[in-house]
Structure formats: structure tokens, C-alpha cells
Chain A
Amino acid sequence: MMHKLLLRIKKLLPKRLAKVAVIAMILSLTACSGPYSTLDPAGPHAQSVAYIWWGMFWFGTFVTIFMTLLWWHAMRRNGTDTPDNEVQGKQNSWVIWGGIALPVGAITLLLAFGIPAGHRMLPFDGDDVVHIEVTSHQWFWQVYYPDLDITLIDEIHIPVDTPINFHIRSDDVIHSFWVPRLGGKVDAIPGSTNVLRLQASETGRFEGQCAEYCGVGHAHMDFAIHAHSADDFASWQETVVQGDRP
């Protein structure tokens, strides 16, 4: 029975796969870029999540199609010829292969990629790490550079290719600090400080926004990170320290 099914799937798949692949390529070329797109990564953390996503996407698509076809085939075929007691004897193989082995295998595979990726994102301290403090308010972000003793509102300047530790707090309600093209988000919680490690691998402007609902101004609580080359960042620092900028 099983090999018949596999044959049928083989017949169906190439056509479908080709179609899906073409659509996906078009999508990834045109639709996946955008100022807030996690699929248009500009830093190592966002990059590894994007890779994981595409891996999961293809695997998930395959599983969905497989399950749908299996179900459809199970509905179409006539299996009444097997007597009841024999069928009940077959339950173990169905459940053990499909119900236990399949999900456990998939989860193991996922964790094998996911755990190292997550580990690399942790904000370990290091000599070259830049430290920036961010305090969220309804509805703006206050950015403080302890080394330079300057404060900015809704804009952040960072050197490219340098790990940055953002120390994030909240002055009122819970907000969430998120720059999708650079990496994951972390909540700003009153009473505690969360540290988020981000790094930009190219220069430019990256959009950030609040991700946790924080009241009527939530939709407009955005900010920008400007990643500069080392030289540009040094000159920016000089300018602001001299007081040209508030």
C-alpha cells in the first residue's frame, strides 16, 4: 500500500514543486525586501533566523503536502477488506512511525540548528562590545550613550560590524524594542533591564519599531538605527560630543 502512495506522490510532486519553487523565487526576489523585513537581513542574527525560516518553510511545506496527500489517499481507498482485529493490530506501527518518530525527528533536526543559532545571539560581554542604554516611554525611545554621555530621541548610531549591547528599560508600560533587519526583539519592562545583542553587517539606515502594544501611540512608536563605517562613526562621535547635536 505504502509504495503505491509514494509512487503517486512522486508523480505529483515535480510539477507542484516546480510551481512552488518558481512562486517562492519570485516572492523572495520582490516581496521579501522591505524596511522592516526579517527576510531582508542586514546583520548576522537576522541572517541566521532568515536561514532557519527558509529551512522550516520548505520542510513545513513538504509536511503539509505530504499529510494532505496521505489523508486524501486514505479517504479514497477502500480498506474494508481487512478484518477489525487485524486493523487494531496495525495501530502501533501507524502511531509509532507517524505519531512519534516523525515529530520527534523533526524537532531534533530543528533544535540541532536552532540551539546553536540562539546561543550565538546571546549578549556575552566582550572588549569590543558597544554599550547603549535605551529607555522606552509612551511613545518614544530615549537613547543614552554612557561613554559619550549624550542622549538622543528615536535615533541610534552604531558602528558597522561591531556587536552592540542594548540595555533596555521602560519608564512606564511594557514596550518591545525591535529592528527586524538586524535581529530579534526584546521587551522593555518596568523595573528590570533586558540586554539585546545586535550587529549590523552593512552600513545604512535600519528601521525599528515598538512591537508590544503600549497604548494609542503604539503604531507610531518607531525609531531608526544608522550603521556607520568605523571612520564615519568616529567622526559622528566627535560631532555630537562637541555639542553640535543635542
Chain B
Amino acid sequence: MTLHQQFEKVWGNLPGWGQLAAVNHTSIGRRFMLTGAVFFIIGGVLAMLIRTQLALPAQDIINPDVYGQVFTMHGTVMMFLFAIPILEGMAIYMIPKLIGTRDLVFPRISALGYYCYLFGGIIIMSSLVLGMAPDSGWFMYTPLSSAEFAPGPGSDFWLLGITFVEISAMAAGVEITVSILRTRAPGMTLSKMPIMAWYILAMALMIVFGFPPLILASIMLELERAAGMPFFEVAAGGDPILWQHLFWLFGHPEVYIIFLPAAGIISTLIPVFAGRPLVGYRWIVLAIILTGFISFGLWVHHMFTVGIPQLAQAFFSIASMLVAVPTAIQIFAWIATLWHGRVTYNLPMLWVFGFLIIFVCGGLTGVMLALVPFNWQVHDTHFVVAHMHYVLVGGMFFPLIAGLYYWLPQMSGRMPSESIGKWAFWLTFIGFNATFLLMHLTGLLGMPRRVYSYSGGLGWDWLNLLSSVGGFVMAAGVGMIILDVALHFKFGRKAPFNPWKADTLEWATGTPPTAYNFASIPRVETRHPLREHPNIANTMAEGQHGLADISHGRREIYGTDAITGKLKEVIHLPTNSWWPMISAAFLAGVCISLLVRVYPVAIMFAVLAAITLLRWSWENGGHKAMAPLTEEEWQRDEPPLNSRTCDGPGLWGMNVTLLADAALYLSLIFGWFYLWTVSPNWVVPEDSAISLPGLLLSGVLLTVGTLWYRQTVRRLCQGNDVGLGKNLAGCAALAIAHLLALLWFTVSAELSFTENSHDAVLLLMLMFQIFHSVLVAVTTSLQSLRVRYGYVSHRLPYEPVVLKPLWLYTTAIFWVSYASFLLLPMVWGGGV
């Protein structure tokens, strides 16, 4: 058997239906991108319906009710089911190849993410087929989306479906962050990463912090709709503007979550085609970090007309303009690279050029919109529609197609056709500008967004007609791209090795890539491995570098230090698994039964999903399906396996997950203080409904448990596992006692959570705490059980270490909640 065949046997997917159990990042990444492309076509068809309806004045091809569904779904599909997932898919596919490893660090999580995306997408699309799609706009402003004004299931489809799909974004965010930080090829310091990895790292971290506010808001609105908890209802002490804050707290970073990876494509392509290393690498890294930070401080520019205090408007206006600085830094670094290089003209570069023109226009109108007086005029008009499409199509779609043509030979091993590709570009470019350049004027002439029809003679007729014609020209262009890509699989000429003379490792995988990417993993101490070591692809394939032995049958990659890239451990990865798909299917069951409001069934599915996820987690560490202790592993010349260490990727995964969790919790605290200070009818009940001493008792039990757990883990990592199982069981018993107290005092609290927003937020906080306490109790109990099975011991200390941050976090939020939800109101007094 050749080395390749041996590797393929360990790393390959199962045949036939077994493909569904695949966890490999190349397979999952491809599926994400393909599914995203299908949703793009669906979103595009919806756009064509809109342009057909608006082509002429006073048309009634589509009635206003259906039109509401069409534009809501167009935005929703394009944002949540196309733009973000396809870029996640690209990152999932590309990152391990770029940083010189074989897979992402939590492969089963990739698969779970994909199935949540697929099932959630299908659930959302089914609403369109059933004619009950959400129709309050893609940002779902309440009260229009509330039970009173949207009584049908449309809003529920959006809230539940999108939250379900967001599991995939969160999974990708956590997994990609940890992968980039902990699994780079040995020697690859942060400053030697390909620039694309920086962009994707920023995207992943922004997902981690950016999505939780939306997830919280969706849960709150769904609880308001289904259980009558009035978070956004003015009469009961809520405030609809809270929804807007939480939505845009997600919504604005989201724009950069989409833009950054696309800009990463540009930063990757330009140096390759200019034949010159990227000029200003450090500046670009700085710009990426700045973009990430600033983007969380400008959400209010979507809300300049809701009556925010002037000072806040001025702050957010200037912050919104300042985000132009990091963007300009990147653009000038790109120009400098082109300036000092000799450019090869080809299809990807054509798309890059198109990107520049459109994106510069979109950026400029963005700065204009950040100017508050101008914003008051054109907000919610077609000017904003035009701006947004310039930024998103210019800033995301054009780079994406540039990247598609660039990496197509890597994915398929074949070259695309230049001639069809050029036609496709010009049709798309001309069609796009015809549609949206004119639309700026349509907006300035006063046409609002989201009108299903308009009267003739307002000066909008010819503009709309030309926009519609342009829209169809662009659709033809997109059609030709699809045709070109489809045809190239059959007729494209075979791609030579590294056809563009690129300098990064993804071209060393073989084209199309193998399941394991690289047969051996080299030290990488340069940003341009393929340029500086022209023979590296061969030596890697021949197995001359690290981890070339596969006789043990484990999927293995290197784990390295987050900053220096120093080799730390060998990470053994899980192989093909059905658990991700089964768990996702049960979660889909939860989603659907909540939609049709059959709550007992929803609970049943939730329990099944939890059991499946726990069963999945059972196959870890020393379990026979993973990496049981053997003699062989100590004799070979490689660092220890990760499950034999105390600082493995699992700990990093837990920490990054808790960062996301903390972002959600902070959003909840923000909501609490926001309602307290702003909501006109906020009422604080005279006496606290919750027993303060009772909760104090519950908190003390948790704190003692945490201290005990910390002590146990410290001893374990020192190599002492005497009484480990008993200690863990004791901690678990304390967690359960804490949980029972918490449950008892919650149930006996008599919160009037359907009449009073104050009590509704309190209940939500308690539910959040209960969720975490259950998690701590169950996982710790399982750990003590795993000690008995021999999966956890002083030689396998990995898992209790992973749970330690969860204990600390659960205790921390308990006391923060105790202080800010229970004590502070007593000190600060009642109503404001």
C-alpha cells in the first residue's frame, strides 16, 4: 500500500450513505459552499420578483402581503443562508490547508454546524412554500413582528429558524478560532501566518462576540410571542427599541463578518498576481484588528431616526466614519502592492478590479450616510438599498467570485474558461451598476424602501424600469458564472501544479485535494513557503516531514503554541461519526415542535438531543473509538497526545465558547439596564419576589463546589488522581444541591412574568443560570463516571481541565446576577 492509500484509509469518508457521517473539513466546507450557492439562487429569484413588481408603476403582480414575504425572505436568505454560511464554508475548507494541517480541531462540530444550517435553512424555506413566510422585514422590528401585529407563524419561522441556523455560525466561530490559534504548522508564528488566516481569525472572533446579541434577542422575542413575556411591549414595561439595539449590535459587526474574509481574498490574490509579496502586511493586520473593534461601536447609525440623544448620535456618526480609515489602509496597501509589481491579467483580477470600483463607491456613500442630517433624509429610502448592495455585492460577492475562479483549480484540478468567464463578469458588472447606481437617485427622489408599488409621475418610473432591466442583466451574468463553473468540471483543461504560482500551502495539497491534505507536516517559518521552498510539495507528499506515520490508524494533527507556533502536542481527531447528524435532526425536531407549539414533543426532542450530544461526548479521550492508552505512543518520536495533557485544544474551545456565552450574558445585562433606565412604563415591584437568603444558599453551594473542583483539577494535573472519582462525584453532588435550591426558589418565587417586563427579565436570567447549572451538574457527574471506566485518570487528565472554566464561569455569572439583578435594585430604589 502506498503512503497515500494508507492515509486515505484513515482519513477518507465512509462510502455511499456513509458520506453523511463525514466530518472532514474539505467535505464539510464544500457542502457549506454548495448549499450556500443554492440559497443564493433562491435569494436571487426573490430579488427578480421584486424587480419585476417594481419595473412599472402601479403594478399588482404581487400583492402587498406576498411582497412583504418576498423582501423579508430576500434579505434573510441572502444574509443568513448565503453570505455568512458560504464564507464560513470557505473558511472551513481553506483554513487547515493555509496553516499547514489536516483538519479543523473539532471535526464533529463542523458536521453538526453543517446539518444545523441545512435543516434550519430547509425549515425557513418551507415557510415560503407554505405561504406563511415572515413578512416584517429582515430586521424584524417589533411590534410589527409581535404576536399582536404578526399573529401567524411567520415571525416564529424567522426567530426559531435563524437561531437554529446560528448554531452553525457559532460552531464555526469557535472552531476556526481555536484551529487558527492552536493547530498551525510548527514554526508558524502569528506574524508568519498567511494574511488570509488573520482575516478569518478576525471573522471568527467577531462571530463569537457578534452573534450572541441576536440569539438573545431572538429568544426574547420568541418568548414574548409564545409565552407572553413582555420584553418589548411598552404597556407592560418593555421597549421595542431594545430589539433594535440588540439586533444592530449584531447587525453591524455582521457586515464586517461578511466583508473581512472577502477582503482576505483580495489580499491573497493581489500579491500572487502582482508577483510581489503583500506590501504593508503589518499595516493590514492592524487594519483588520481595528475594523473588528470599531465595528462593535457603530450599530446606532442604523437608528439615527429613532430619537437617540444628540450626543450619542454625534459619537456614533464619527465612529461610523472612522471605520473608513482601516478600509483605506487596506486599499492603499493593495495599490502599493500592484504599483510595485507586474500584474498578470486574468479572470480573478478582473473581478478584483470590479470589486474596487464598486466597493469604493459603497464606502463613500457609507460615509455620507454616517452624517446624521443627511441620514435623516435618505434613511429607509432606496438610497440605502443602493448603498447596502454596493457594499455587500461589491465588498463580498465580487471578491467571492474572484476567489472562486482563483481556487477553482485547487478544488477541482481543472481550469475555468476565460471567455465565458469574461462575459459573465461584464454582464454582472454592467447589470449591477445599472440596477444600483441609479437607485441612489431613486432614493434621493424620495422613494422609500419596501413599498410594493408606487404611483406614476413621481419621477421614479424610468429609474425603476432601468433598475429592473439592470437586475435581469446581472441575473444573466450570474447564470453564466454558474454555467461556467458547471461546464469546467467536464470540459476544463487539467490544471498544472500551482497554476497561478501562488506562495501558500493550500496549493501543496494536490489538486483536487486529498482528504488528509498533507502526508507529512513541515516546519513553516515563512509567509511564502511555496515560493521559498519550491520542492516542499513533493517532500510533504513523500512523507519527509512530521507525522508521516499512519500505522496507528488515528487521525492526527500537530498542536502548537498560540503565538510562537512551537510544537506542543499531537492532537488526535475523531473519525467519521453519525452523532452530529442525529443530534442536528433532534434539534430540528425541537425547532419544528416549537413552531407548531406542541411543547411536550419539543421537550422530548430536547431530551433526545441532549442524550445524543452527551453520548457523542462519551467518545472522547481514552475511549476506544478515540485514542485508548497504548505503549506505541510513548515510544515514537512525537510529542504526547493531547488527551494526555492539561492545556489541549478542548480547553481553548471551552474558553472561546464561554466568551460567546459571556457576550450573550452581557447583552442580557445591557437589556436589563436599558429597560430600567429608558423604558417608560418600567415598574419595579415593591418587594423582591425572589428569596434573597435562599439564593444566597444556592450560590454558596455552587462556590464551594467550584473551589473543590479547582483543587481536584490542580492535583490531577500534578499527577495525583487518588480519590479522583469521589472528588468529582462530590463536586457534582454540590452542583446538584445548588441546582435544586435554585430551582426551588425560582418555582416558589411567584414572578408575574407575563404582566411585568421586570419579572420577565428576572425569569430569563434565572433560566439562563439554571441552564448553566444543569450543564455543570451533568457534565461533572459524567466525568466521575468516566473515571470508573478509566477514560479519565492522571494519564488522561484532559477532560476535567476542560470543565474547569465552565465551573468558574457559572459561579461568576451567578454572583454578577445576584448583585445586578437582585441587590442593586434594592440599593438604587424602585422606579426611575
Kindly list chain A residues whose C-beta atoms are within 8 Å of the C-beta of B360: 63-64, 67-68
A110 → chain B, closest Cβ, in Å?
A: 6
Residue of B nearest to A215 (CB): B144
Partner of A71, one of B65, B322, B338: B338
Partner of B441, one of A31, A78, A98, A100: A31
Kindly list chain B residues whose C-beta atoms are within 8 Å of the C-beta of A216: 64-65, 68
Q: Is the CB of A64 within 8 A of B458?
A: no
Q: Is the CB of B377 within 8 A of A90?
A: no
Q: Does A77 contact B (CB under 8 A)?
A: yes
B232 → chain A, closest Cβ, in Å?
A: 10
Say yes or no: A80-B368 contact (C-beta < 8 A), given A52-B373, A190-B143, A214-B144: no
Q: Does B380 contact A (CB under 8 A)?
A: yes
Q: Is the CB of A174 within 8 A of B240?
A: yes
Q: Does A237 contact B (CB under 8 A)?
A: no
Q: Does B813 contact A (CB under 8 A)?
A: no
Q: Is the CB of B141 within 8 A of A38?
A: no
Kindly list chain A residues whose C-beta atoms are within 8 Å of the C-beta of B327: 103
* C-alpha spacing A176/B341, complex, angstroms: 52
Kindly list chain B residues whose C-beta atoms are within 8 Å of the C-beta of A37: 444-446, 459
Say yes or no: A38-B377 contact (C-beta < 8 A), given A80-B276, A173-B143, A191-B239: yes
Q: Is the CB of A186 within 8 A of B305?
A: yes
* C-alpha spacing A160/B361, complex, angstroms: 38
Say yes or no: A213-B458 contact (C-beta < 8 A), given A37-B446, A79-B340, A189-B240: no
Partner of A211, one of B339, B367, B381: B381
Partner of A213, one of B143, B367, B449: B449
A163 → chain B, closest Cβ, in Å?
A: 16
Q: Is the CB of A213 within 8 A of B373?
A: no
Q: Does B280 contact A (CB under 8 A)?
A: yes
**Chain A 160-193 interface mask (CB, 8 Å, partner B; 1/0):** 0000000000001110101010011111011110
Q: Is the CB of B318 within 8 A of A111?
A: yes
Q: Is the CB of B373 within 8 A of A60?
A: no
Kindly list chain A residues whose C-beta atoms are within 8 Å of the C-beta of B329: 95, 99-100
* C-alpha spacing A217/B321, complex, angstroms: 35
Kindly list chain B residues whose C-beta atoms are within 8 Å of the C-beta of A215: 68, 144, 149
Q: Does B795 contact A (CB under 8 A)?
A: no
Q: Does B34 contact A (CB under 8 A)?
A: no
Q: Does A12 contact B (CB under 8 A)?
A: no
Q: Is the CB of B149 within 8 A of A173?
A: yes
* C-alpha spacing A191/B235, complex, angstroms: 8
Q: Is the CB of A71 within 8 A of B380?
A: no
* C-alpha spacing A46/B444, complex, angstroms: 11
Say yes or no: A110-B321 contact (C-beta < 8 A), given A80-B342, A183-B377, A185-B376: yes
Q: Is the CB of B65 within 8 A of A87?
A: no
Partner of A74, one of B338, B381, B454, B681: B338
Q: Does A225 contact B (CB under 8 A)?
A: no
Q: Does A152 contact B (CB under 8 A)?
A: no
Kindly list chain B residues whose C-beta atoms are within 8 Å of the C-beta of A87: 276, 279, 336, 340
Task: Compute the total of residue contacts between A and B using a CB distance below 8 Å.
Answer: 268
Q: Is the CB of B341 within 8 A of A34?
A: no
Interface-side segment among A14-22, A113-121, A142-150, A227-235: A113-121
Q: Does B689 contact A (CB under 8 A)?
A: no
A227 → chain B, closest Cβ, in Å?
A: 17
Say yes or no: A34-B374 contact (C-beta < 8 A), given A95-B332, A186-B305, A191-B239: no
Residues of B whose CB lies within 8 Å of any CB of A are: 64-65, 68, 136-137, 141, 143-144, 149, 234, 239-241, 275-277, 279-280, 283, 287, 305-307, 310, 314, 317-318, 321-322, 324-325, 327-333, 335-336, 338-343, 345, 349, 353, 356-357, 360-361, 364-365, 367-368, 371-381, 441, 444-454, 458-460, 679-681
Some 18 contacts from A to B, beta carbons below 8 A apart, are A36-B445, A36-B459, A45-B373, A56-B368, A56-B371, A67-B356, A74-B339, A80-B275, A90-B336, A94-B335, A103-B321, A106-B324, A176-B379, A191-B681, A209-B448, A211-B379, A211-B448, A213-B68
Residues of A whose CB lies within 8 Å of any CB of B are: 1, 27, 31-39, 45-46, 48-49, 52-53, 56, 60, 63-64, 67-68, 70-72, 74-80, 82, 84, 87-88, 90-91, 94-95, 97-100, 102-104, 106-107, 110-111, 114-115, 117-118, 121-122, 138, 172-174, 176, 178, 180, 183-187, 189-192, 194, 207, 209-219
Closest 7 CB pairs of A and B: A184-B376, A36-B446, A191-B234, A99-B329, A34-B459, A98-B332, A219-B451
Beyond A103-B324, A103-B325, A114-B371: 20 further Cβ-contacts under 8 Å?
A32-B444, A35-B446, A36-B458, A53-B444, A56-B371, A74-B336, A80-B340, A80-B342, A88-B279, A94-B279, A95-B283, A121-B373, A173-B141, A185-B379, A186-B307, A191-B681, A211-B380, A215-B144, A216-B65, A219-B64
